[in-house]
Amino acid sequence: MMGPVPIRDPDDEGLTIQERYEAFHKRHPEVLVQLVAFTFEVYRKGFQHYGIRTIWERMRWHFQIDKDQGEEFKLNDHYVSRYARRIMQDYPELDGFFEIRRLRRK
């Protein structure tokens, strides 16, 4: 199990959101694994569409409370849409499961 994610990682200074997301994912691949598991749990219940933010908040609970990583474990809201896109790309049966908007490239 990896340790808590710092509130602000100095290595991420000056990077774009996409670059920070990629760095975060590389440091914490367990986030995508768990997000996919929660998404498929919803999908298997028969939902055709669902809100990624609802699952994202469940992720916070999962890591901070269930996994006892506490307040220091942070999931940046800027990464939500990137994870949604990644899941729908990696799992064709989930294509269109999340509503997404145009990406901001900051």
Provide the pLDDT confidence category of residue 65 given band limits of 50, 70 and 90.
confident
Q: What is the pLDDT of residue 7?
A: 44
The answer to whether the predicted template modeling score (pTM) of the entire model surpasses 0.85 is: no
Statement: residue 38 has pLDDT above 80: yes
Statement: residue 6 has pLDDT above 60: no
Statement: residue 10 has pLDDT above 50: no
The set of long-range contacts for 67-72, using a CB threshold of 8 Å and a minimum separation of 24, is: 67/1, 69/3, 69/4, 70/4, 72/4, 72/5, 72/6, 72/7
